[in-house]
Amino acid sequence: MMGACVRGVMMNQSTLGLAPRPDCVTKAMNASWRSAVPGNSPTCCSRVVSAHSYRGFGSTAEKVKRSECTVLGNTIYGLHVVDHWASRHDLQPCRAILQDDVTASEATAEVIDGKKIAQDVRREIAQEVLKMKETVGKVPGLAVVLVGNRTDSATYVRSKKKACEEVGIASFGVTLPEDASEQEVLDAVSKFNDDPSVHGILVQLPLPKHMSEEKVVGAISVEKDVDGFHPLNVGRLALQGRTPLFVSCTPKGCIELLLRSGVEIAGKHAVVIGRSNVVGMPAAILLQGHNATVTTVHSRTPHPAEVTRSADIVIAAVGVAQLVRGDWIKPGAVVIDVGINSVDDPSAKKGYRLVGDVCYAEVAKVASKITPVPGGVGPMTIAMLLQNTLESAKRTFDL
Ligand SMILES: Nc1nc2c(c(=O)[nH]1)N[C@@H](CN(C=O)c1ccc(C(=O)N[C@@H](CCC(=O)O)C(=O)O)cc1)CN2
Residue 106 banded pLDDT, cuts 50, 70, 90 = confident
Catalytic, out of 225, 227, 312, 345: 227
Indicate if 273 and 319 belong to the same structural domain: yes
Asked if 252 is an active-site residue, the reply is: no
Asked if 322 is an active-site residue, the reply is: no
Q: Give the residue ranges of DSSP H helices in the chain.
A: 14-17, 27-35, 79-86, 114-136, 151-167, 182-193, 213-219, 231-238, 249-260, 280-289, 304-308, 360-363, 377-396
> Which of 10, 16, 276, 341 maximizes ligand 1 atoms within 8 Å of its Cβ, making it the mutation to test the pocket?
16
> Which of 12, 13, 55 maximizes ligand 1 atoms within 8 Å of its Cβ, making it the mutation to test the pocket?
55
Which residues make beta-bridge pairs with 316? 273, 337
Report if residue 129 sits inside a domain: yes
Report if residue 260 sits inside a domain: yes
Question: CATH code at 237?
Answer: 3.40.50.10860
* Domains: count for the chain: 3
Does residue 261 surpass a pLDDT of 60? yes
Question: CATH code at 300?
Answer: 3.40.50.720
Q: Put the strands of the sheet holding 110-111 in their side by side order.
A: 110-111, 369-370, 334-337, 313-316, 269-273, 293-297
Indicate if 242 and 385 belong to the same structural domain: yes
Report if residue 346 sits inside a domain: no
Q: The domain containing residue 147 runs over which residues?
A: 118-247+381-396
| Distance separating alpha carbons of residues 200 and 144, to the nearest angstrom | 8
Interstrand relation of 352-355 and 341-344 (parallel, antiparallel or unpaired): antiparallel
The mean pLDDT value for 303-314 works out to 98
Give the tens place of pLDDT for each residue, 309-349. Answer: 999 999 999 999 999 999 999 999 999 999 999 888 899 99
Q: How many CB atoms lie within 10 A of CB 236?
A: 18
Q: Whose CA is nearest to atom 25 of ligand 1?
A: 16
Dihedrals phi, psi of 344, to nearest 5 degrees: -60, 135
- Interface ipTM: 0.98
Indicate if 385 and 302 belong to the same structural domain: no
SS3 218: helix
Which residues lie closer than 8 Å to 340 by C-beta, 6 or more apart? 11, 12, 15, 16, 54, 55, 354, 356, 373, 374, 378
Indicate if 142 and 227 belong to the same structural domain: yes
Indicate if 326 and 299 belong to the same structural domain: yes
Answer with the residue of higher pLDDT: 66 or 144. Answer: 144
Answer with the residue of higher pLDDT: 26 or 392. Answer: 392
> Which of 15, 54, 204 maximizes ligand 1 atoms within 8 Å of its Cβ, making it the mutation to test the pocket?
204
Site residues for ligand 1, CB cut-off 6 Å: 15-16, 55-57, 156, 202-205, 227, 249-250, 340, 354, 373-375, 378-379, 381-382
Pick from 17, 194, 6: nearest CA to 96: 6
Indicate if 158 and 243 belong to the same structural domain: yes
Report if residue 3 sits inside a domain: no
| Distance separating alpha carbons of residues 176 and 66, to the nearest angstrom | 25
pTM of the predicted model as reported, rounded to 2 decimal places: 0.82
Report if residue 5 sits inside a domain: no
Does residue 46 surpass a pLDDT of 70? no
Indicate if 172 and 278 belong to the same structural domain: no
Q: Which of 54-58, 173-177, 373-377 has the lowest mean pLDDT?
A: 54-58
Report if residue 290 sits inside a domain: yes
Indicate if 323 and 305 belong to the same structural domain: yes
Catalytic, out of 204, 224, 337, 365: 204
Indicate if 52 and 87 belong to the same structural domain: yes
Indicate if 168 and 276 belong to the same structural domain: no
Asked if 337 is an active-site residue, the reply is: no
Report if residue 2 sits inside a domain: no
Q: What pLDDT does residue 352 have?
A: 87
Indicate if 127 and 238 belong to the same structural domain: yes
Indicate if 259 and 370 belong to the same structural domain: yes
Answer with the residue of higher pLDDT: 49 or 85. Answer: 85
Report if residue 178 sits inside a domain: yes
